[in-house]
Amino acid sequence: MKLSEREVLDVARLARLRLSEGEVSRFLKELDSILTYMDMLGEVDTAGIEPTVHVHPVTNALRPDLGVPSQGIADALGNAPVVHGNAFEVPRVIEED
């Protein structure tokens, strides 16, 4: 797959990157080699191979679910700058039309 400079600049714009001309040519070569390698991987026959998530067999390492008392409301709101009833009061961030 051959990339164009325009495509590299489009990707840079989407990533909010400003690239110099030298960087554009460098990334053009690097991205083209990555995509060429991906094309090569696409040619590998994977018929009959089960998809895997991990290379090694992994089981969930979860801690036991223990019921414990939660933090009290007074304790949770103790350092709040402004409290309204039993909740934190915060400034409005969404404007209503």
Residue 44 structure tokens: 């590998």
Rounded-to-integer distance, Cα 27 and Cα 5, Å: 9
pLDDT attached to residue 54 = 78
What does pTM read for this prediction? 0.48
pLDDT attached to residue 1 = 60
pLDDT attached to residue 73 = 92
Residue 39 structure tokens: 């094309």
Rounded-to-integer distance, Cα 8 and Cα 15, Å: 11
Give the tens place of pLDDT for each residue, 19-47: 999 999 999 999 999 999 999 988 999 89
Query: Domain 5-42, CATH 1.20.1500 — does that match?
Result: no
- In this model, does residue 5 exceed pLDDT 80? yes
Give the tens place of pLDDT for each residue, 49-77: 888 877 887 788 888 889 999 999 999 99
Query: Domain coordinates of the chain in residue numbers?
Result: 5-42
